[in-house]
Amino acid sequence: MNVLIVKLGATGDVVRTTPLLSRFHEHVSWITEAKNAVLLKDLRDNLRCLTWEERDAAADRTYDLVINLEDTLEAGHYLKTLQFKQLFGAHLDLANELCYTEDSQRWFDFSLISRFGRKEADKLKLQNRCTYQELIFEGLGFRFSGEKYLVPQPIETGLSGDVALAQEAGPVWPMKNWAHYDQLKRELEAKGLKVNVLPRRKSLLEHLCDVRNHRCLVGGDSLPMHMALGTQTPCVSLFNCTSPWEIHDYGIQTKIVSPLLCEYFYRRDFDSRATIAISVSEVLAATIGRLNGEVSA
């Protein structure tokens, strides 16, 4: 069976899609953004990773199944150049408008191309209590049973400690950036703990190592969180404006949900109220709890 996965970005979304590989034991091709290729290459012998720029090389065979998780016109047009028997996910209809297959509707009903429109899609997303993996697996006819992320071997950096802080979540979601990391760092250090703010790295494999080399990661819904889940690093994750329910915790994650989540849910603008709603005391207690091996989530 030949399978093609089209999942370009964001990087965290690529990482959280890797559990699918556990269900396809024969050849899989995966097209992703160039920056993410290092996370997929060499994961296993029968996985071919192609960058978006190398996508024409994927036309060398007929696919039994194409899984397209990209809701863009460019990806939709690209699918028309391929030969395949079955499609799951987004595609172009006869009018060259983006739509999605019926079996993928549980996920894409929440998306930017939702048949219900953006406003209703966000309402449905807020009501959803299934993880991303459950939605994708079940659409493909599988049952998600806690299959783990697959991550490559990190590049050693030498940075290690008790707690890693992932302070930056990127420019797309500015309200993911909690305002109190500096205070949290001071309070943790006052307890004798070694705390590091994750630095920027040239390689994602170095970033992966930084996360793995700590006893606990504290951060928002961002790439370091997914790296923690992939390396089995306990984590405390803050959800200011995105869904905590889509994330499978693998028994190692404590989720702290903002009391203002509904107000700021899936908004990409900025209001400082969203970044201060979660208290330092709550995050401090959750972090100490994770360091002490408590399993509340």
Report which DSSP code applies to 54.
G
| 220 contact partners, CB below 8 Å, separation of at least 6 | 166, 169, 176, 177, 178, 237, 238, 239, 240
148-174 pLDDT, tens digit each: 999 999 999 999 999 999 998 888 999
Residue with tokens 């890693």: 164
Tell me the angle at which helices 280-291 and 181-190 cross, rounded to the nearest 10 degrees.
50
pLDDT at residue 176 greater than cutoff 70? yes
75-99 pLDDT, tens digit each: 999 999 999 999 999 999 999 999 9
Percent of the chain with pLDDT over 90: 96
Residue 256 forms beta bridges with which residues? 238
46-83 pLDDT, tens digit each: 999 999 999 999 999 999 999 999 999 999 999 999 99
Q: What is the pLDDT of residue 170?
A: 80
Q: What is the pLDDT of residue 297?
A: 47
| 170 contact partners, CB below 8 Å, separation of at least 6 | 176, 222
pTM of the prediction? 0.96
Q: What is the pLDDT of residue 42?
A: 86
Any alpha helices (H) in 4-46, and if so which ranges? 11-17, 37-40
104-153 pLDDT, tens digit each: 999 999 999 999 999 999 999 999 999 999 999 999 999 999 999 999 99
Q: What is the pLDDT of residue 295?
A: 63
Q: Who has greater pLDDT, 294 or 22?
A: 22
Band of pLDDT at residue 296, cut at 50, 70 and 90: low
**SS3 label, residue 166:** strand
